[in-house]
Structures are given as C-alpha cells and as structure tokens.
Amino acid sequence: MDIWIVIIFLGFLLFYGIYQGFRVKNSSDFATGGGGRGLFVVFASLSAAFIGGGFSTGNAARCYESGVANIVGLFGFSVAQMLIGTFVMRRARLPENAQSPGEIAGAYYGRGARVTSGVCAALLAIGLIGAQVAAIGSIFSALLGVSYTAGVLIGFSIVMVYATAGGMSAIITAEVVEFCLLAVGIPVLAFFSIGHAGGLETMLSALPDGFLDPTSGGAMPLVALFLTMFIGEALSPTYLQRMLTGRDRRTMARATTISGLLSIPIFCLTGVVGLAAVVSLGNIEPSQAMPSMVLAALPVGLKGVVITSMLAIVMSSADGLLSSASIAIANDIISPLKRKPMKPKALLRAMRLSSLGVGALGMALALGTSDVFSLLVLAYAAWAPVMLVPLAAAMLGVKAGARTFFLSAIAGGATAVAFGVMVGGDYGGALAGTAVSLLVFVIGQRWDR
C-alpha cells in the first residue's frame, strides 16, 4: 500500500508536467506561467520551495549530531523572509513583467549586472540542486529499498521531466500539492517520532548533555549559522521568481511574510525528528535520521503518506531551482549577450536545454556527496556576497551606478573566495563577503551621489 501511494504521486507529477508542456508556448509562459496568482498559491509555492532537503533531512541530521543549535540557527532564514516581506516587497520598485532578479538588476545597473546576476543564480542553483538531489537519493535508498545512485537517477529524472516540460505552471501546481502533503506529513512524523522515543518528557531527559543548549558548541558558531541563514537565500532567484507570480506587490509581500512565519514551526518539527532518533534509534548515519524514523515509528498506510511528503519536500525545492537556473542562463546570460533579440520560441528552447544541463550538473554533484546541509551552505557563497546588497538596493530605489555595482560585487565575491580558501569553515565566506560588499556599496553609492 505504501509504495502505491508514492507511485501515484510520482505519476501525477509526470503526467501533469507533460500536459502543461503542450500549453507552454513562449518563454513568458515557462518563466511565470502567466502570473497574477493569489495569496494562497504564492504562499504555498514559496513554502514548498524553501522546505527542501537542507531544511528537513539536513536539519534532522544536524540535530541528531549536535542538538537544537541547528534549529535556532535556521531561524535566521525565518527572520530574513519576514523582513523581506514586510519592508522590501511592499516598497519594491520592479520593472514591468520582470521574470528574474537579473532583469531587476539590469534595469538599474545595465547589461553587465544582468549577466552577473545570471551567472551567480546558475552557480547557486547548481549547488542547491546538488543538496536536494542528494536528499532524494537518501530518501529513495532508505525508504524504498534502492541504492543511493538509483534513487538519485530515478527521483531527479522525474523532477527534470515535469519541470523542463511544464515550466512554472507545472512547478507551482506541483508545489501547491506538495505543500499540502508536507503540511500533514511533517507534523505527523514528529508526533509519532516523539511517541517512539517514549514521549516528550522521556525524550528530552534522555538526550545527551548539551543537546538542549543552543550555545553548547559556542556562541560564535551559533551566531555565524544564524547570520548565514539570514543572508544565504535572501532575494535568491528561486524565491523571487515565485514572488513575481503574485498579482500585486501586496500579495507578494504578505505571502513572503507568512511563509517566513511558517518556517519556524517547520524547523522545530524536523529538528525534533532528529532528536527523537538520538533516543530511540541509537548509533546510525546522521543523514538517515529522518528516513529511519519514518520506517521505525509509522504504521503501514501512514508510512506511505509521510514518505510521499518527504519526497514532496525535496522535489518542491529541486524543481524550483531547475526553473530559476534555466531562466537565469537563457534570459540573463545568453539573451543579453546576443546581438539580436532572441525570438520567444528560441528563448524557450534555450531555457529547456539549460534546465537539462543544470540538472545533469546537480545530479553529478549529488553523486559525489550525500552531505545535504554542507552543500546548501556552500552554495550560499555564490549569491549573497555578490548580488544581495546591490539587488536589495535596486528594489528599494537606492540610486547607484554600474561602477558601484561591480565594485561591490567583485569585492564581495573575492572576499568570500579568499575567506573560504584561507580560513575554511562552513559559514564564514558568505558572511565576510556580504559584509565587504555592503561596505563597498555604501562608499560607492555616496561617491556616485
């Protein structure tokens, strides 16, 4: 019974994606699906997009290893989304019919900024896709009895087909379904995991010393993780493209704020699953904490629903990343560099080919490692240090020239790379690069003014 629930879900994704593919006629259909969507659809799509492998199975794995510090650190993402919704999206100055961050940057800083945004978006997406595909492989391997490699190939191939064929319309519809599944599956899994660990009080008392103290590993690592989550995916292409499908700025802003609020209990629940695994499962591979709890704690039938919701979690992030990468490459790199404007059908073809290429790269990255959370954090260094500051400034109407954009982007990117090479560690590069980018942008903007 469990396997049939999963098969029906995967079959629906394939069928609907191919069906939508016949309705996609141009690049605008592929990139936004027509736009004009209401609050629930934008909110559900945003929420399904962020609750990926890193924030679910990756969070459970980190909590299994070191306790609640990872949950608290992830709240940085929650705070960032709420601030973006409350202060940025409500005041955002967006070019008409914008499809990507690159178009926003290009409207303010010129063609070079648009191409730079496209390159950064593609690099970010490849790293994050690697994290989601690794999670897909782990789930297929642990819960469906296939090898990790086979799980990667089967699971992500399905994502590539429906995302590449149907574009944003297929992706958003899939994400609304996936959001409904995960809204049920995550709380159910957390509830049964606590029960399997002997109840909440027993579970908490049986945890190792320091697991309930977020600063047990030191205050600075916790602050660094919080700030990395705060900046890492702020205004990233995956989320910004979903915001741009809203019918107006108010809808975009409210959907973003609500999505940020929802992330708080989601992080707590997925972290609880990892803590329950410490008490009830003993010594296991950390990346298997959540899949192992599914097998150990849930009855037949309900197990199939939760397995499906776990697949929905990682697939909903992977499909959006494919879309953002393909749009970035075709719309913000290839198209601006051509002497003649690309025809809509040629641009659509370039988007689909880019989707397949990026998917293949992400799959190769996932086959090289199964550490979902580290891949996620590493990918952040490709976006925030280069694009976050100038993009936020453009959306808020802060006037600055192309020179300031490039000085800020180069300084931020170079600092992130240098920090990663010389110092290492999970979190420092993105933080240091973004701080330098902000400093250089403020100085350059005053110089321009």
| DSSP result, 254-290 | HHHHHHHHHHHHHHHHHHHHHHHHHHHH-S--GGGHH
For residue 246, report the phi and psi dihedrals to the nearest 5 degrees. Answer: -70, 155
Alpha helices by DSSP H, 33-147? 39-50, 57-66, 69-83, 101-109, 111-144
Domain presence at residue 393: no
Beta bridge partners of 246: 37
The total number of residues shown for the chain amounts to: 449
Token code pair at residue 376: 């996620």
Percent of the chain with pLDDT over 90: 27
Domain count across the chain: 1
Domain presence at residue 260: yes
From residue 402, give the alpha-carbon distance in Å to each of 356, 395, 405, 440, 448: 32, 15, 5, 13, 10
Neighbours of 370 (CB within 10 A): 22
From residue 425, give the alpha-carbon distance in Å to each of 66, 175, 386, 420: 17, 33, 19, 7
> For the domain that residue 121 is a member of, what is the CATH number?
1.20.1730.10
From residue 305, give the alpha-carbon distance in Å to each of 81, 132, 308, 436: 29, 20, 5, 46
Q: What is the pLDDT of residues 127-136, one digit of tens each?
A: 777 777 777 7
Neighbours of 139 (CB within 10 A): 27
Of the two residues 358 and 207, the one the predictor is more confident about is 207
pLDDT at 175 over 80: no
Domain presence at residue 66: yes
Token code pair at residue 310: 């776990």
Amino acid at 195: G
Token code pair at residue 366: 């996932």
Name every residue whose Cβ is closer than 8 Å to that of residue 280 and which is 6 or more positions away in sequence.
193, 196, 197, 198, 203, 293, 296, 297
Q: How far apart are CA 337 and CA 312, in angstroms?
A: 37
Token code pair at residue 160: 């590539």
330: containing domain? 2-381
Name every residue whose Cβ is closer than 8 Å to that of residue 295 and which is 6 or more positions away in sequence.
142, 143, 303
Domain presence at residue 424: no
Domain presence at residue 233: yes
Q: What is the pLDDT of residues 202-252, one digit of tens each?
A: 999 999 988 999 998 888 889 988 988 898 778 888 778 777 777 888 888
pLDDT of the residue at 437: 94
pLDDT of the residue at 377: 64
pLDDT at 311 over 60: yes
pLDDT of the residue at 214: 92
Domain presence at residue 404: no
Q: Locate tokens 């600055």: which residue?
A: 400
Domain presence at residue 183: yes
How deeply is 443 buried, as exposed, middle or buried, from its count of CB atoms within 10 A (0-12, 13-18, 19+)? Answer: middle
Domain presence at residue 297: yes
